[in-house]
Amino acid sequence: MSLLARTALDEFRSRPGRIRESAFQLLAADALVTYACEAALEERDPPAALRAILLRTAGDR
């Protein structure tokens, strides 16, 4: 899910300005990160799972 969120964020950033499709990409990314974080809480090591989500969604920054 977090990799899908990263893709949605990349698509959002590729279309600067007030474009409706960009807004949908941002909302999709938010939902996917939220679901990924909820799933991480079910893991054996939630802090490590959350860290992994952050690293995957942060990208090359």
Q: At what angle do helices 46-58 and 2-13 cross, to 10 degrees?
A: 30
Grade residue 14 by pLDDT with cuts at 50, 70 and 90: confident
pLDDT, residue 61, reads 52
Terminal Cα-to-Cα distance of the chain (whole angstroms): 20
Residue with tokens 């999709």: 28
Is residue 51 a contact partner of residue 36, using CB atoms and an 8 Å limit? Answer: no
Kindly state the average pLDDT of the residues 40-60.
Answer: 91
More confident residue, 4 or 42: 42
How is residue 46 written in tokens?
């939630």
Q: What is the CA radius of gyration of the chain?
A: 12
Residue 41 has pLDDT above 60, yes or no: yes
